[in-house]
Structures are given as C-alpha cells and as structure tokens.
Amino acid sequence: MGLKDKLHKLKLKYKDKKMAPAFNAIHTFLYLPNETTHSGAHVRAADDLKRTMNTVIMALVPCLIFGMFNAGYQHHLAAGEIKAVTDGFFSSGFWSLDNFKVGLWKVLPLVIVSYGVGLAVEILFAVIKKHEVEEGYLVTGMLVPLIVPIDTPLWMLAVAVIFGVVIGKEVFGGTGMNILNPALTIRAFLFFAYPTWMSGDKVWVHGAVERANEIAGGAQLDAMSGETVLGSLAQGKELTYSVSDMFLGFIPGSVGETSAVLILLAGLFLIFTKIGSWRIMLSAVLGALAMGLIFNGVVNAGWISEGSKFYSLMSTEFWHHLIIGGFAFGVVFMATDPVTASQTNKGKWYYGFLIGFISILIRVFNPAYPEGVMLAILLMNVFAPTIDHYVVQGNIKKRMKRLKLKTT
C-alpha cells in the first residue's frame, strides 16, 4: 500500500472527527481528491482551484528568485563591495552565489512566516466552522513576501497576516467570498499600523550597522540605507537609474516588484493560461498612461513651479510610471484577482482603467507614500460589484428597449 492509499485510508477513518478539515487540507495539498461523481451530468475540466493557484505560483517563482538575487545585489552595492552591473541579465556580478545567499537569508523567513501563520489561521477556521480548507491562500502566502519591504520584522508580518486572513477573508466566508484582496489587506494593515516601515525611503542592507562602521573606519554609524526610486522622486530628487535598470529590475524595492520584464512575461503567461484578465491589465496600463500624460501636460504648460513638492513625480515621463514601484506587479497579480475584480467584460475595462488612473494620482499627490497601486486596487475592489451592477442594468435596459421596438 502506497503513501497515497494510506493517507486516503486515514482520511476515511477520521472523516467525522473534529480535526478532519486539517487532515483533509494536508491530503488535498499533496494529492488530488479521490472523490468521484457517480450520478447526474457534470462538466469535466482540468482547471480546478488547485491547478489555478499553482499556475499563478509558477508565474510568481521567477519574480521570487530574481528578488532574492536583487536583494543581495542591492546589499553588496550599498556596502560598496561591488560595482553596478553593466550587462543586464548576463552580469556575473548580479547572479553570484553571494547575492543569492544574502537574499535567501532574508526572504525565506518571510515566506515561511507568511505560509505558516496564514495556513494555521485557515485551518483553525476550517475546524471551527467544520468546512474544507480551500487552496486560496496558496497564492496569497506567496504574494505577501513579495510586496512587503525585505526588512519587515517577522512578528510584524505575522500580526498583519492574521489580520488580513481574518478580517479580509474569513469574516466574509472564506475563499471566493471576500470582497478585498487578502494580500493587499495585509499590506494595507502594515502601511497604516507601521507607516515608518512602509514609507519606501530606505533600502535594506544586511548587517548595515556593522558594515557601515567598518567602512567608516571605526566611526559609529546607526545605519546604512538609501531610497527606492519612488521615494527619491517624492523628495524632489532626480532619477538616477537608467530605463534599462528599471525595466530589468536592478533597482531597490520590495522583493517581487522590481523586474518589470519578468512581471510582463508572467502577465503574458497568465493571459495565455486564461487565469488573468487581459482586459484588466490593458485598461489599467491605459489608465496609468492617461494620468501620467495629464501630469506631464500640466508641467509642460507651466501650471506648476519647479520648486513644488509634486513637481518631480509630475514631470516624470508618463510611461516611466509603468516600470517603477509596484504598479506592474499589482496590476498583473492582484488587480486580476477573479474573486475581487469585476466579473463582466465591460466592467473589467472600467475597473482596470480606474485602477491605473487612481494609482498614478495617489502616487503623485501623496509624497509621504509615493505608491498608489495598493490603495487604488483596494478601493476598486469595493466598487467592483457596483460597476458590474450598472453594466448588467445597462444591458437589461438595452434589451428591453429592443423588445419594445419589436413589439411596436
């Protein structure tokens, strides 16, 4: 008897026990359910919830691995131990084992805490409510470490995950019932509860104090840090990174958000597998470009002075907004969440466009937090049902009008 058969036998044995949902969660995580239908007509397809979640995780893995290398690269670069890469993805200085070790040392604990705490809460609610554990947190658990600053304390992340899973998901009934994206709910909790950690004006450097003291020749320094691209622009400074660096991802930022090229490939993969909505992605990009063009027009018209605190981000090339910050990552992986996004095809166009438009609006007019995609997506999560309602009502009115014309 193989391991699968033994687990299935134990599953049947403890079917009516209190901890059955927890055991079933482990069983279905490792294997497909052994339950088959014996009567009635049923649609048979390969795209169940687990495969859908696994497909999104496959799209996230390249961003995770690149983020680990980039974390080590930014650390060694800030410490003055290496020079900036000049040959992009083919740079041996970037893909060195030392960079990966440093990134792995900091990113892996975030992944473990995210999954450990989140799944524990999921199983706890499954036991209390006596229902099966859904696979919905598989993607959320991977998203969370990729959208938080790499130096986020583990206890802080654990508290945020508990809040996000309970308030953002379980109180609405669990997977498929939530109105807010759980990963962004966790990020929003961190932003409002611990704003100094989420401001984006610091770049994490492993062993910063010790290394800074060594570089300073024994002088006691408190830290060694820098700013993200958006943090620098929000403070009125000039852009110091090339377009190629921003597009490829050799810039500071949260773990998964830096490489626009990998996010673009992930988006195409999700569209090809019919997991992500191309309508939402495309309309969000159009909305961001529209808002960026408006701000560039305001600057070119001379309606805002160069000394204004909004001038730097307003004067940024409108298309640069697509490759800096978390805009691309948010649009591809979170705006397209099939549970919290608009369900109608026309509604997806409105939904995505407003996300892009509002993202850049918040980014420019909120210098204290120069990243708006999180708040824009959460805001549109709330209004997605309203958008769908008016789209459906509009279709009903058109059909009623055509019916009246035919009857007359």
Task: Assess if residue 25 is contained within a domain.
Answer: no
Range of the domain at 175: 49-385
Q: What percent of the chain has pLDDT over 90?
A: 44
**Size of the chain in residues:** 408
Q: Which of 176, 216, 242, 190 lies closest to 371 in space, CA to CA? A: 190
Task: Assess if residue 157 is contained within a domain.
Answer: yes
Q: What is the pTM of this model?
A: 0.86
* Res 222 pLDDT > 50: no
Q: Which residue has the higher pLDDT, 18 or 383?
A: 383
What was the pLDDT predicted at 41?
Answer: 61
What was the pLDDT predicted at 209?
Answer: 45
Task: Assess if residue 16 is contained within a domain.
Answer: no
Interacting residues of 89 by C-beta distance below 8 A, sequence separation 6+: 248
Task: Assess if residue 148 is contained within a domain.
Answer: yes
Number of folded domains that form the chain? 1
Task: Assess if residue 134 is contained within a domain.
Answer: yes
Task: Assess if residue 235 is contained within a domain.
Answer: yes
Instruction: Report the chain's mean pLDDT, rounded to a whole number.
Output: 83
Question: What tens digit of pLDDT does each residue of 225-275 get?
Answer: 456 788 778 777 778 888 999 999 998 888 898 999 999 999 999 999 999
Task: Assess if residue 281 is contained within a domain.
Answer: yes
Task: Assess if residue 309 is contained within a domain.
Answer: yes
Q: Which residue has the higher pLDDT, 143 or 48?
A: 143
Question: What tens digit of pLDDT does each residue of 40-88 get?
Answer: 666 666 666 777 888 999 999 999 999 999 988 988 887 777 888 877 7
pLDDT band at 218 (very low <50, low <70, confident <90, very high): very low
Q: What percent of the chain has pLDDT over 70?
A: 79
Question: What tens digit of pLDDT does each residue of 354-406 get?
Answer: 999 999 999 998 866 767 899 999 999 999 999 999 999 999 998 888 888 77
What are the structure tokens assigned to 246, written together? 């921003």
